[in-house]
Chains A and B, each alone.
Chain A
Amino acid sequence: MTTDRKPALRLEGIVKTFPGVRALDGVSFEVYPGEVHALMGENGAGKSTLMKVLGGIYQPEEGRIFVDEQETVMTSPLQAKAKGVMFIHQELSLANELSVAENIYLGALPRKSFGRVDWKMLFDRTDAILDRLKVGFNARTLVGDLSIANQQMVEIARALTVNARAVIFDEPTASLTDAEKVVLFEVIESLQAEGVGIVYISHRMEEIFKMTDRISVLRDGSYRGTLTTAETNEDEVTNMMIGRSLDLSRNHAHAELGDVALQVEGLSCHALFQDVSFEVREGEVLGFYGLVGAGRTEIAETLFGLRTPSAGKIFLKGQEIRIHSPIQAIQNGISLVPESRKEQGLVLGMSCRDNITLPQVDDMTAGPFVSDGAEISIFDQYRDKLEIKTPSWRTAVGNLSGGNQQKIVIGKWLSMRPEVLIVDEPTRGIDVGSKAEIHNLLRDLAKQGYAVIVISSEMPEVLHVADRIVAMYHGKVIRTFTAEEVTEDSLIQAISGIEGGKAA
């Protein structure tokens, strides 16, 4: 790296505490112009907090910030922006009722006289940016009408609106599919070429090794060191992050397959998906893979009683069942880990414990009252199992890091000991260590005789955990692969609607 140049951005001895947590403990860190600098660490290590300090959202208790070696105090996002620091948030930060263009230029709408918005300039500029991002929507679309992935692209588009000195991407790919990732990487490369310093936060090793120049590691809020990407490997990084190595080898000791647990025949739901048939056996992990909007989530929601199917049958252990509500689904032993943890998975203002026991609070009783003991024991069990990092069970879930929030949602449904567990994007935003942990958990569950359905947009994930993979395209099942016959190429072809997927 060009170490003789001045860093675009430098942090020195940053300390930031929250009640009960020392989120950052004297962290120093720098990015050079044209460098892509990865920031890694377990869930809750303090990555997002550090970046929020940089972006003017939090004020640190100690430490100094330099932009182009000029010391600056970042008191607000507005000021950070003025200093050339752009911030692409981990959690979507959009106004759903406004158009794409207004969101991209939020806080910086072009003006004409009398404070009027210069719509023409706004739309022209936005269209130019959207062209560069090769997305399928236009500047006037309402953001609320977009899929999560496309909303993420709107966030990313913001990075291109100003001449930034530094751009921070906080887990930008968590909900992107491969095609969009490619576009994102092109964007990053072109920013890099313009001499912008880039901070890139992600839990995905392959991206880190593909995209970045250096890697800095945080652990429990303190700085662990910086590695040059070209000179290191996954193992070393993991070791630095979690203090041990991981065995990521494919772990396919097949469980004994039992009876068919869940069978779906010709299930359709209006325009969302049609004629979907599959079965999953006790002891089996069935993967669903497809592009955004392929209809996987909608199938899961239908099985969970949240949508009314227009045709088709569902059999549980050979018995036809009708599910009209999540309550019935749960009674039938079906659980769903939903795809959006903030909207669907968690009551953010509630404590960690209360969130985990929520679906079974009726059973957590001694007499008519909720029993603290029963709840805490469940909580403790899953905190240990999933290594959830939280100051205490009382902490509001909203104060946990993104990854730990996801673990709470998973813990909530695992603790229900369901017969059929559906997980929709289970490891979105989860660190490598915990991810492996969750994968093992899913496999373990299968081994214990549960039927597990995993919906994922990450190919390595489905390849890693699933026994069979259902490939979907445009609301239809294209093909079901077994673990033995599946290859990356055939899977990609199947989910892109290319005829060839059928061969192989």
Chain B
Amino acid sequence: MQRETLKNLLKNGAIWGFIVLELVFFQVVGSVLSLSETAFIDPDNMLLLLKQSAPIGIIAVGMTVIMINGNIDLSVGATYALAGIVMLDSMTWPIFVGLGDWAIPFAWLMALLTGCALGLINGLIVWKTGVDAFIVTLGAMLGFRGLVFMYNGQQPTYHLNWTMVDIAEWGVFGLQTSALVFIGVSLLVWLMMTRTVHGRNAYAIGNNREAAVNAGIRVGPHILINFVLIGFLAALSAVAFYSGSGSVNPNDGMLFELWAITAVVLGGTKLAGGAGSIVGTFGGVIAIQLLRKGLGHIGAQTETVNLVIGLILIAVLLLDKQLNRQGQQELKL
């Protein structure tokens, strides 16, 4: 198993090479321009990076599973927002309000249940109707967003609880809660995908659905479980983030799906399904966050940031293509 991981790491070499490149670049350019008094590659800054990566990172982990399974989920951003709303709002519900700070775990639970329920809806539709996941979740992206707005009109949902903020800002070794959640989730899901029957079947289904069906794998329940999982993770991401911010704007989470997918694909997961890894996705998430952070660090303007992020995405793809070439023995297709 370990050898396989190493092999995957090398196969996804592009992303790690790229991360190193980013670090060096921003460090050097940042110090030449001497815009800030602190170094870019500062340990605190790197720990902060993990925390900042968490909202999209946690979702990207779920997206990896969904995509390996051969599906896609465009509704995660809306799920994230709705779960956040339920979390904050539930703390004001009469049944919880008497509990004081003990309402917090219940609020978290409500949020996670919401995420699971939305995932369940998507999963059931994909399974039972046979409509492609892309369409189901594209529709749900709209539909769930509608639910978000129904909840509180155009108003943000707001409930600031300083205990909850303190929990979110709590940390060990400089890693704050959301960073820990991100790392923990990555680890657990990595174990699931590499060690469990469910994980291996997800690969098989994504790789060759017909073969999986022929081999007697029950494709539907696996799809369902994975959609519930990504719903759960989108909600978990909301829990980690909104515990520390206390207010959900009904527009929150828009474009999260595209960023998550970008991170996943940068990390080497195939869009068609069947191949990919959580480790790669972790790298993809870090690479994107580094890019945003670094461009801010060197004082790039909005238009430059957009231009550079776009071109870099394409450059990474080119690099990856170059690294994974089979050389002269390749068939010219």
Chain A interface residues toward B at CB < 8 A: 55, 57, 76-81, 87, 89, 93-98, 102, 106-109, 111, 114-117, 119, 158, 269-272, 301, 305-308, 310, 325
Contacts and interface: CB of A to CB of B under 8 A. Distances in A.
Interface of B: 1, 195-198, 200-201, 203-204, 207-208, 210-218, 274-275, 328-329, 331-333
B208 A94 contact: yes
B200 A117 contact: yes
A107 B332 contact: no
Contact of A106 (B215, B218, B275, B328): B215
B207 A98 contact: yes
B197 A95 contact: no
A69 B213 CA distance: 26
Given A77-B215, A95-B207, A308-B328, A102 B200 contact: yes
A270 B329 CA distance: 7
B216 A306 contact: no
Nearest to B273: A97
A311 to B, nearest CB: 12
23 contacts: A77-B213, A77-B215, A77-B216, A78-B218, A93-B208, A95-B207, A95-B212, A96-B207, A97-B274, A102-B204, A106-B215, A107-B201, A107-B217, A108-B215, A117-B197, A119-B1, A269-B329, A270-B329, A271-B329, A305-B332, A306-B331, A307-B329, A307-B331
Contact of A270 (B275, B328, B332, B333): B328
A115 B196 contact: yes
Contacts of B207: 95-98
A7 B218 CA distance: 30
Contacts of A108: 215-216
A97 B275 contact: yes
A271 B201 CA distance: 36
Given A93-B211, A95-B207, A106 B217 contact: yes
A301 B328 contact: no
Contacts, number: 90
A111 B331 CA distance: 39
Given A77-B215, A97-B274, A109 B195 contact: no
Given A93-B215, A95-B207, A98-B204, A114 B196 contact: yes
Contacts of A116: 195-197
Nearest to A99: B4
Nearest to A109: B197
A107 B215 contact: yes
A92 to B, nearest CB: 8
Contacts of A307: 329, 331-332
B266 to A, nearest CB: 19
Nearest to A309: B328
Contacts of B200: 98, 102, 109, 117
A251 B46 CA distance: 78
Closest 5 CB pairs of A and B: A78-B216, A107-B215, A106-B215, A95-B207, A107-B216
Contacts of B216: 76-81, 107-108
B254 to A, nearest CB: 33
Contacts of B212: 95, 106-107
Contacts of A306: 331-333
Nearest to B194: A117
A428 B27 CA distance: 61
Contacts of A96: 207-208, 274
A449 B203 CA distance: 51
B197 A111 contact: yes
B195 A87 contact: no
Contacts of B275: 97
A87 B214 contact: yes
A94 B217 CA distance: 13
A76 B212 CA distance: 12
A272 B204 CA distance: 30
Given A76-B216, A78-B218, A97-B274, A106 B204 contact: yes
Contacts of B331: 301, 306-307
Contacts of A94: 208, 211
A57 B214 CA distance: 7
A47 to B, nearest CB: 17
Contact of B214 (A93, A114, A269, A272): A93
Contacts of B332: 305-308, 325
Residue among B207, B210, B214 with most chain A CB within 10 A: B214
A325 B331 CA distance: 11
A55 B204 CA distance: 20
B7 to A, nearest CB: 10
B86 to A, nearest CB: 29
Nearest to A56: B216
Contacts of B213: 57, 77
Nearest to B329: A270
A106 B211 contact: yes
B200 to A, nearest CB: 6
Contacts of B328: 270, 308, 310
Contacts of B201: 107, 109
Contacts of B211: 93-95, 106
A158 B215 CA distance: 10
Contacts of A98: 200, 203-204, 207
Given A79-B216, A106-B211, 20 more contacts: A77-B213, A78-B216, A78-B218, A80-B216, A93-B214, A97-B275, A98-B204, A106-B215, A106-B217, A107-B204, A107-B217, A108-B216, A114-B196, A116-B195, A116-B196, A116-B197, A117-B195, A269-B329, A305-B332, A310-B328
A114 B212 CA distance: 22
Nearest to B213: A77
Nearest to B327: A270
Contact of B198 (A97, A115, A301, A305): A115
A236 to B, nearest CB: 34
A308 B332 CA distance: 8
A80 B216 CA distance: 9
Contacts of B198: 115
Contacts of A114: 196
A57 B197 CA distance: 23
A357 to B, nearest CB: 22
Nearest to A118: B197
Contacts of B203: 95, 97-98
A306 B330 CA distance: 9
A166 to B, nearest CB: 16
B154 to A, nearest CB: 44
Residue among A114, A301, A305 with most chain B CB within 10 A: A114
Contacts of B196: 114-117
Nearest to B196: A115
A269 B195 CA distance: 40
Nearest to B333: A306
Nearest to B207: A95
Contacts of A109: 197, 200-201
A106 B201 CA distance: 8
A78 B218 CA distance: 8
Contact of A77 (B195, B214, B274): B214
A115 B208 contact: no
B6 to A, nearest CB: 14
A89 B333 CA distance: 28
